[in-house]
Amino acid sequence: MPLTRLETANGPVWVRAPYRPEDYTAPQDALHLFERWQRDDVESSQALLTLRDGPFGNYVEVGRQARDGKTWLVLLEASREFGVEVETRRSGFGKVVAIEPRRAYELAVARDPLRKLPVVA
Amino acid sequence: MKERFTLRVAILVALAALCATASYAAGHCPVSHQPLPSAAQRQFLPPVKLLGCFMTPEEINTVRSAIGHDAQVTATDPAFESGELNPDGSMRPPLTASQFAALIKMHSVLAEDMRNGAVIRKFIQNSDIGGFLYGRTVIGSPSAPIVVTTNTVRGFVGLERNTQGLDAGATVGALGLDFETTPLGQYTDATADPLLRQVSLEIRTHGLHSIRHIMVTQGASDAKIPLGKDLNDTVQASAPTLIGRSFEMNRQGQTNPYTALGISHNLFLLTLDPSDPPTATYPLHLNEEDVMTVPTPLAVGDVLFRRKTNGQETPIARYIRGHNPDGTVTNRWFLSQSLSAADKAYYRGLLQQAAARVAAAGG
Residue B2 has pLDDT above 60, yes or no: no
Cα distance between the two ends of chain A? 13
**What pLDDT is recorded for position B33?**
94
Say what the pLDDT of residue A35 is.
98
Cβ atoms of B346 and B339 closer than 8 Å = no
- What's the first-to-final CA gap in chain B, in angstroms? 61
Measured CA to CA, the distance from residue B268 to residue B166 in angstroms comes to: 16
Q: Tell me, what's the pLDDT at B173?
A: 93
A115 touching B, CB under 8 A? Answer: yes
The ipTM of this complex is 0.94
Report pLDDT for B16.
56
- The reported pLDDT for the residue numbered B180 is 74
User: For the segment A40-72, what is each residue's pLDDT rounded down to a tens digit?
Assistant: 989 999 999 999 899 999 999 999 999 989 999
pLDDT band of B285, cuts 50, 70, 90: very high
Residue B313 has pLDDT above 50, yes or no: yes
Query: Would an 8 Å CB–CB cutoff place A109 in contact with chain B?
Result: no
Rounded mean pLDDT, B234-250: 94
Q: Choose, out of A36, A79, A82, A120, the residue to mutate when testing the contact with B (most B CBs < 10 Å).
A: A79
Q: What is the mean pLDDT of residues B14-26?
A: 53
What rounded mean pLDDT belongs to chain A? 95
**Distance (Å, rounded) from C-alpha B214 to C-alpha B115?**
10
Buried b (16+ CB within 10 A) or exposed e, B305-333: bbbbbeeebeebbbbeeeeeeeeeeebbb
Phi-psi category of residue B117: left, alpha or beta, with phi > 0 → left and psi -120 to 50 → alpha: left
Q: Which residue on chain B is closest to A48 by alpha carbon?
A: B140
Instruction: Check CB contact under 8 Å for B155 and A114.
Output: no
Give the list of residues 6+ apart from residue B125 with CB closer than 8 angstroms, or none: B178, B186, B187
Look at B10-24, B99-113, B290-304 and tell me which has the smallest mean pLDDT.
B10-24
- pLDDT at residue B1, as a whole number: 43
DSSP state of B337: T
In the predicted model, residues of chain A with pLDDT beneath 70 are: none
Average pLDDT, chain B: 91
Q: For residues A100 and B257, which has the higher predicted lDDT (pLDDT)? A: A100
Position B43 pLDDT exceeds 90: yes
**How far is it, in rounded angstroms, from Cα A21 to Cα A83?**
12
User: Tell me, what DSSP letter sits at residue B186?
Assistant: S
C-alpha A24/C-alpha A103 separation (Å) is 9
- Give the Cα separation of A39 and B291 in Å (integer): 18
Task: Give B14's pLDDT tier (boundaries 50, 70, 90).
Answer: low
Q: Is the model's pLDDT at B154 over the cut of 60? A: yes
Q: Do A41 and B151 touch (CB under 8 A)?
A: yes
Q: Do B73 and A5 touch (CB under 8 A)?
A: yes
Query: If pLDDT is split at 50, 70 and 90, which confidence band does B23 have?
Result: very low
Whether the pLDDT of residue B3 is over 90: the answer is no
Q: How confident is the model at residue B195 (pLDDT cuts 50, 70, 90)?
A: confident
Average pLDDT over residues B124-128: 95
Q: By the 8 A CB rule, do B151 and B331 touch?
A: yes
Give the model's pLDDT for residue B193.
80
The percent of residues above 70 in pLDDT, for chain B, comes to 93
Average pLDDT over residues B75-82: 93
Q: Give A68 to chain B, closest Cα distance, Å.
A: 23
Output B2 or B255, whichever has higher pLDDT. Answer: B255
The answer, yes or no, to whether residue B208 has pLDDT greater than 70, is yes
Cβ atoms of B23 and B37 closer than 8 Å: no
User: Does the pLDDT of residue B256 top 60, yes or no?
Assistant: yes
Q: Which helix (H) or strand (E) holds A95?
A: strand A93-98
Report yes or no: B210 and B305 within 8 Å, Cβ to Cβ: yes
| Site from A23, A36, A52, A114 to mutate, B interface, most B CB atoms within 10 angstroms | A52
Q: How far is A103 from chain B (nearest CA, A)?
A: 18
Helix B97-110 vs helix B57-65: crossing angle, to nearest 10: 110
Q: What is the largest CA-CA distance in chain A?
A: 54
Q: How would residue B8 be classed by pLDDT, with cut points 50, 70 and 90? A: low
pLDDT in tens, B178-192: 777 788 999 999 988
In this structure, which amino acid lies at residue B233?
D
pLDDT at B11: 56
Q: How far apart are CA B110 and CA B63, in angstroms?
A: 13
CA distance B278 to chain A (A): 32
